[in-house]
Chain A
Amino acid sequence: GQNIDQPTEMTATEGAIVQINCTYQTSGFNGLFWYQQHAGEAPTFLSYNVLDGLEEKGRFSSFLSRSKGYSYLLLKELQMKDSASYLCAVMDSNYQLIWGAGTKLIIKP
């Protein structure tokens, strides 16, 4: 079966750095996406990785290792507004998105 694993909840301090991990087992791989979802709102696109390595976009970076079936989202200089759920999704061989359950990130002052 297809499976995406990410921690249910994480807590971090304002100004700090946090890394949210995602491991996956899918039938084929055509890229991995990270989305941010604030409570009561729809997800917004953060990043897309299809090749191994680190993609940096401002305060957010996303890393992928296809051989390990592993990705992480790195958030630097955390702000209170970063409190949200972070969803990891993998596109399988049929170009279908397989979604993780999301990681709720709580930022404390």
Chain B
Amino acid sequence: GAVVSQHPSWVICKSGTSVKIECRSLDFQATTMFWYRQFPKQSLMLMATSNEGSKATYEQGVEKDKFLINHASLTLSTLTVTSAHPEDSSFYICSAGTGREQETQYFGPGTRLLVL
């Protein structure tokens, strides 16, 4: 149980385009989903927390207009990187939990984004 999928796993795009990444909880309802970014050889950096049906909570320094998050259902959250630039190239990972306190986060496989 507790499987989280992400799509796509790999994306290459031109600078200035927008990229949408999907995160799905396959066998449980995820009240809360988290989006992380990880640069090579660095730790996970939390970008935002999204709760189903409400606006995402962004971490300090993360531009909410650039990284649009939608958590429309209990099994799907999307992250859209708008007007992507080469510095946005990174490994984007989502995780999901049921929203209960002290809940384990289960991670998706990640999406590697390369902006040319």
Contacts and interface: CB of A to CB of B under 8 A. Distances in A.
B26 interface: no
Interface stretch (B14-22, B60-68, B71-79, B104-112): B104-112
A99 B110 contact: no
A70 interface: no
A45 B104 contact: yes
| Chain B interface helix/strand/loop/mixed | loop
Contact of B93 (A42, A96, A97, A102): A42
Interface size class of A (residues with CB under 8 A): 20 to 34
Nearest to A48: B104
Interface residues of B, number: 18
Given A41-B109, A44-B107, A30 B102 contact: yes
Interface in B43-67: 43-44, 46, 49
B43 A102 contact: yes
Contact of B104 (A33, A40, A41, A95): A33
A71 B90 CA distance: 30
Nearest to B112: A40
B102 A87 contact: no
A42 B108 contact: yes
A99 B44 contact: yes
B87 interface: no
B43 A100 contact: yes
Nearest to B2: A45
A14 B102 CA distance: 34
